[in-house]
Chain A
């Protein structure tokens, strides 16, 4: 019954490693997002896909690469992890892109050591 799910919930890894976070939604939405929440709870959008097409690509390092194999899935791959990448990453989805509310996943807490 989970609407937006993410795996893993926790991810602890060393600097320089490559890791992926997966997101799936079963709401039938056509738009999905990745957000980064820092230690002060500040939320910033990173990417957004609409019908598998990238529509928002904020200024993030190109070590971050999103992939949307279909409308229900959006993955985030991070290369060469750095200490500053430690944060909570949230996936979200919405029906359309115009003022509709977004539904968030539970988050993935990434810790880079």
Chain B
């Protein structure tokens, strides 16, 4: 079945460090890919998305490129801040899935001053 695999956390970084969170997927069709962020005590917020191969999504300094050949959608940020501490979820959605999202397990990121 369709699935998303994310690197396990927690990922602990110092402020201004480079962040990468790996995400790979398995899908029977051509999914759209998303990164969501969940700050403590809050709901999920869409961070970025990509709907076809080689698309790059970007927002708030975060980027991810849809790589069909490696079935990956890794999230990167060049210089993290303490305010980036959150749980990050990779997700996929297929066109014939009635909006059913498949989420990864989430990766907790902790940024220290």
Contact = CB atoms under 8 A, between A and B. Distances in A.
Nearest to B94: A99
B95 interface: yes
Nearest to B52: A99
Contacts, number: 62
Interface residues of A, number: 28
A45 B61 CA distance: 29
A48 interface: yes
Nearest to A33: B99
A98 B99 contact: yes
B99 A43 contact: no
A101 B47 CA distance: 10
Interface stretch (A13-21, A65-73, A76-84, A89-97): A89-97
A45 B44 contact: no
Contact of B100 (A45, A96, A104): A45
B87 A97 contact: no
Contacts of B69: none
B66 interface: no
A31 interface: yes
B99 A31 contact: yes
Interface string B16-38: 00000000000000011010101
B106 A56 contact: no
A27 interface: no
Contact of B99 (A40, A44, A96): A96
Given A90-B43, A105-B43, A40 B100 contact: no
B77 interface: no
Contacts of B38: 41
